[in-house]
Structure 1
Amino acid sequence: MEYIILTLLLFSALVFIFSLLRKDRFAELEREIEQLSLSYMQDIYQLKKKISVLEEELLFQDSQGGFPDLPPPAKKGISTVHEIIKNQVLALYRQGLSIERISQQSNLQQDEILSIIGENQQKERP
């Protein structure tokens, strides 16, 4: 009986020493997962950085008057001025108001008002 207990004790000591010397597979797996998560974090950081740069470029382009691939907005010209506004401008001009005052009342630029008045004078001269 003593031999059996001594043999089991020796066997358990050998198994214990073997388990300490044995390579841990889970530690290697943990290191791989750590490396993988670090690489993903670096990729995400770089993507966020690129996105912020693109957003800044879009905001800069928007503040500069639009995007390069879109046509510029149409400027307000004589052809886009409604006939009622033209008649109002002409009526105010006939009443003797200044160009600046007509510009304030009609929300048109002074050169547009002068164009409307000049266009009307050409129509009246035939």
Structure 2
Amino acid sequence: MDLSLILIIVGIIIIIASFFVGNQSKQLEKDVEELSLNFYQETHQLKRRLKVVEEELLIEPQTFAKQKKKVSPKPNAKVGINGIHQILISQVLTLHKQGYNTDEISNRSALSSDQVKAIIASGGYRL
């Protein structure tokens, strides 16, 4: 009988202890849930910021085509490099050094093919 009495007492102690242990697990669950919500919110904010940055960096092809039409001179007009920004000139020369042809450079720089040829000629390069 002593063994059964000891087992009953141990069982009661374990049941009482389970009430205290349960509170710790509930607090732990609450902390994990709060942490996951914070993580989700921060991830959402980062994605939103990244989307804004991507939108700022994107150049729409339609806008690019409109700018190209505005910049291109009349077909019979004499083409010069006056009025073209130095950054565009260096970009054209760099692309020419990399092996791009005048049509590809024209598409990338929003300049006409005649302007690209004039810039390359003024840079001392052969077409």
Shorter-chain TM band: 0.3 to 0.5
Instruction: Provide TM-score, normalisation by structure 2.
Output: 0.42
Instruction: Provide TM-score, normalisation by structure 1.
Output: 0.43
Q: Return the structure number with greater relative CO, CA threshold 8 A, min gap 6.
A: 2
Larger radius of gyration: 1
